Structure 1
Amino acid sequence: MTEWTPQPTGDPAADAILESLQGADELSPEREIEVYRTALEALARLLDEPPQQPGPPQPGPPQQPGSS
């Protein structure tokens, strides 16, 4: 059987989830399903989170003159 290696996504959290699937094909069917279900749920939670942009926080909208 060919070893599966996940390709980096650029998102460390997504990469960690995908890496957790390595070797799943060697588990019992029940455990393999559990591992894939856990990964699917983790990916769904990750997609529900607001995007994380690298770098410093972005400034908010410009303030109106005279407001603080």
Structure 2
Amino acid sequence: MDYNVSSERISTGLPRFDTLLNGGYYVGSSILLTGTAGSGKSSFAAFFAASICKTGKKMPVYFI
């Protein structure tokens, strides 16, 4: 397989978590959040969505 992979990163919206990820998620990557009810999955997704909005860039984000 031959395809381009981005080295650009986007913030998770949580500075300390971005530090753990060396700057955030790779643009174009797939992220799976799992956990029990009340573990913060929806809150985490909301921080991430807000972070994307603050950049002013348009990028597809899907929450299922």
More strand by share: 2
- Greater relative contact order (CA < 8 Å, ≥ 6 in sequence): 2
Fold shared by both chains (TM-score > 0.5) = no
More helix by share: 1
Structure 1 or 2, whichever has the larger Rg, is 1
Please tell me the TM-score bracket, short chain as reference.
Answer: 0.3 to 0.5
